[in-house]
Chain A
Amino acid sequence: AQSVAQPEDQVNVAEGNPLTVKCTYSVSGNPYLFWYVQYPNRGLQFLLKYITGDNLVKGSYGFEAEFNKSQTSFHLKKPSALVSDSALYFCAVRRPTPPLVFGKGTRLSVIA
């Protein structure tokens, strides 16, 4: 069965600094990997995905993520954090068939 681990419950970063939110996965076969973001009292919103191709994928709001097959990781990054990036971030994985399995989430706090 597929699974996702987000080892940090909370990440704090100063505004303007680079940010990284970590994710590792476990799935047999080729993974489909995703990042979603959740703002308070809202549903999850899609940020970016890796299906195949270039290991570095770019998504919404300046976020990017790098697929590393040898380390089974898919860390989310942004070169310069904004206060408005503060939210709950979820990594998710699935095989070509449903369903999507989510990690427990990492709360990002960007401090001005």
Chain B
Amino acid sequence: DAGVIQSPRHEVTEMGQEVTLRCKPISGHDYLFWYRQTMMRGLELLIYFNNNVPIDDSGMPEDRFSAKMPNASFSTLKIQPSEPRDSAVYFCASRTRGTGANVLTFGAGSRLTVL
């Protein structure tokens, strides 16, 4: 198992540009989470999905952020337009409902820098 796969690992963009981050969860996992990590705010939950359906998006900062999960093996987090304050590391994580239900597996993260 390759684990949770995120791309790109690093993204540098200019303010106002659209950014799309991608995540492939572990096969068979039916929960997917997007977190954002910054020095000031630590790890914040942005949104999570169960069986491809968004369950709680109350952590999404504002309308500039959107997330989709079109199928069980792919999710995107989009920022449009991007702003310098969006600079952070964005993590995707997944988990199952089975015996490993309580353990999140994280991807390596996507480091976003907005100039």
Contact = CB atoms under 8 A, between A and B. Distances in A.
Interface of A: 32, 34, 36, 41-46, 49, 51, 90, 98-105
Interface in B74-115: 91, 93, 102-109
A87 to B, nearest CB: 14
Main secondary structure of the interface of B (DSSP, over half): strand
Contact of B42 (A51, A98, A99, A105): A105
B45 A43 contact: no
A98 B108 contact: no
Contact of B108 (A36, A42, A51, A90): A42
Given A43-B108, A46-B103, A46-B105, 8 more contacts: A34-B103, A42-B108, A43-B91, A44-B91, A99-B33, A99-B56, A100-B45, A104-B42
B103 A43 contact: no
B103 A49 contact: yes
B55 A34 contact: no
Contact of B102 (A32, A41, A104, A105): A32
Give chain B's interface residue range (CB within 8 Å of chain A).
20 to 34
Given A98-B55, A99-B33, A104-B42, A45 B102 contact: no
Contacts, number: 51
B95 to A, nearest CB: 8
A109 to B, nearest CB: 17
B43 interface: yes
Contacts of B50: 98
B69 interface: no
A43 B42 contact: no
Contacts of B108: 41-43
B42 to A, nearest CB: 4
